[in-house]
Amino acid sequence: MERIVTKDDYLKSLREQGHLVYFNGERVEDVTSHPAFRPHVNAAAKTYEMALMPEYEDLATAISHLTGERISRFTHIHQSVEDLIKKVQLLRAIAHETGSCFQRCVGWDALNATFMTTYEIDQKHGTDYHTRFLEYLKYIQSTNRMVVGGMTDTKGDRSLPPHQQKDRDVFTHVAERRDDGIIIRGNKAHQTGGANSHEILIMPTQFMREEDADFALTCAIPLNSPGVVQIFGRQTNDDRRIHSPLDAGNAEYGLVGGETLIVFEDVFVPWERVFMCGETEFSGLLVERFATLHRQNYGGCKGGVSDVLVGACALASEMQGSAKASHVKEKMAEMMHLTETLYAGSVSCSAMGQKTASGAFYPDPLLANCTKHNVTRHVYEIARLAHDVAGGILATMPSEADLRHPEIGKYVEKYLSGVHGVTTENRMRVLRLIENMTGGTALVESMHGAGSPQTQKVMYGRLAKMDMKKKWAAKLAQVEE
């Protein structure tokens, strides 16, 4: 495949891909032109565009440690603490341009987690997974293809392990082993950017025991492979993209990441694209590494999105004449404090990163989990404050069709006006942006993306060194053993 460099290259690659994607009960032949998909495609395309801008070259590109070539940073393996910090800076910078999810982080984190873990599997078992993966990584770096990180399975009855499920397909698994490869069945849910990506890098969704060896699977699959079907999820107010760009709020770049349910019906994977197959003792390590790398991101991307939301609230308050009110200033200051707190978490876990046995660098896992846990709280508080600053009109505003109506448009124009000199349409546009950024889908993703709060609490128990903390306390209190 030709290397993807420009936005046009990216759009062309999607049009030619021929993958099976369904939305609202119908197959979508071209995701680049369908209004439900176009904003998500534009957001991902921004990652290609910014890599060509001189002012972003240092953040958006890197030098491959494998080939020495300049590559997209979204395909790079972190080689230093500086790389980890640049990752966070890049995510915040792109979020400023899109105000939404740009979707390439999950695949990036999957590449790094797989790089680290395959190295250690080979060291223990004498396998050649890491060698296989390096060839795959060179392919991704040279073509600049967009990769989905396939972590989450639907899991069926969560009280049962994978091998005891009535329908084993609720977990992705090896259905058949052949001389030339494997046949897999199952699914991956909530797949950010799935509809407009080229590949999926499948990982085990949880720690697997020996009896679940068929589910301890890591492999890479082109998304146009026979047997792969994607079903696009509904999002809050997504019909507005079709009917009204103004009412959509962020018509150019959309909302969250355009998640799909990806189904695998007897999909063939050649052995050279299989990077774990039954090594259950490494499944939990791979999950933990992916989760840490992904949780590292959230203060960057959510910090950047929150920057945009703060700006929108500042505009809204100016347009309605409340910007100088002391209580508005106080709320704006709190929103900025919470935003910078999120960013500080991502920077701190990156700055405290360490080199792994593979040579790749890895953020501090405890601080990365704290960062994501803060996101599950602070983003909701930022949204609450945004609703407070914007006012009740956010929930009751008439539509663009009403504004344009030949008879009633004059009433919308008159009664939704604010400060003299500000058009009603501009005020409505800013309010719709705030509504879009603080609606249901955006908040749910902040809660459950990269793991819900309970998963971070579990990691606190593993990583917080409680025994050591008790010893420190006992020593100072002069408590005898």
Amino acid letter, residue 12: K
Please give the sequence-ordered ranges of beta strands (E in DSSP) within 312-452, or none if there are none: 354-355, 361-362
Torsion of Cα atoms, 148 then 249 then 60 then 116, to 10°:
-30
Of 219, 301, 313, 349, the active-site residue reads 301
Environment class of residue 279 by beta-carbon count within 10 Å: exposed (0-12), middle (13-18) or buried (19+)?
buried
Identify the three-state secondary structure at position 267: strand
Of 75, 192, 218, 280, the active-site residue reads 192
DSSP 422-474: S-HHHHHHHHHHHHHHTSHHHHHHHHHTTS-HHHHHHHHHHHS-HHHHHHHHH
Of 120, 288, 435, 445, the active-site residue reads 445
Distance between CA atoms of residues 112 and 366, nearest Å: 18
Determine the longest span between alpha carbons in the chain, in angstroms. Answer: 84
Q: Is 370 a catalytic residue?
A: no
Q: Is 298 a catalytic residue?
A: yes
Of 10, 56, 129, 298, the active-site residue reads 298
| Inter-helix orientation angle 129-143/105-125, to 10° | 160
Q: Is 252 a catalytic residue?
A: no
Tokens of 11: 């759009």
Amino acid letter, residue 289: R
Of 78, 198, 294, 373, the active-site residue reads 294
Distance between CA atoms of residues 429 and 472, nearest Å: 56
Q: Is 277 a catalytic residue?
A: no
Between the alpha carbon of residue 479 and those of residues 189, 471, 473, the distances in Å are: 51, 9, 8
Distance between CA atoms of residues 200 and 368, nearest Å: 24
Of 105, 219, 277, 349, the active-site residue reads 105
Q: Is 265 a catalytic residue?
A: no
Tokens of 62: 């890197």
DSSP 39-89: HHHHHHHHHHHHHTSGGGHHHHEEE-TTT--EEEGGGPPP-SHHHHHHHHH
Give the number of other CB atoms < 10 A from CB of residue 120.
18
Q: Are the CB atoms for 434 and 309 separated by under 8 Å? A: yes
Q: Is 219 a catalytic residue?
A: no
Q: Is 413 a catalytic residue?
A: no
Q: Is 101 a catalytic residue?
A: yes
Distance between alpha carbon 142 and the CA centroid of its chain, in Å?
23
Long-range contacts of 94-98 (CB under 8 A, 24+ apart): 94/46, 94/47, 94/50, 94/301, 94/304, 95/300, 95/301, 95/302, 95/303, 95/304, 95/305, 95/307, 95/308, 96/304, 96/307, 96/308, 97/46, 97/50, 98/42, 98/43, 98/46, 98/252, 98/253
Residues acting as catalytic residues: 101, 105, 192, 259, 294, 298, 301, 445
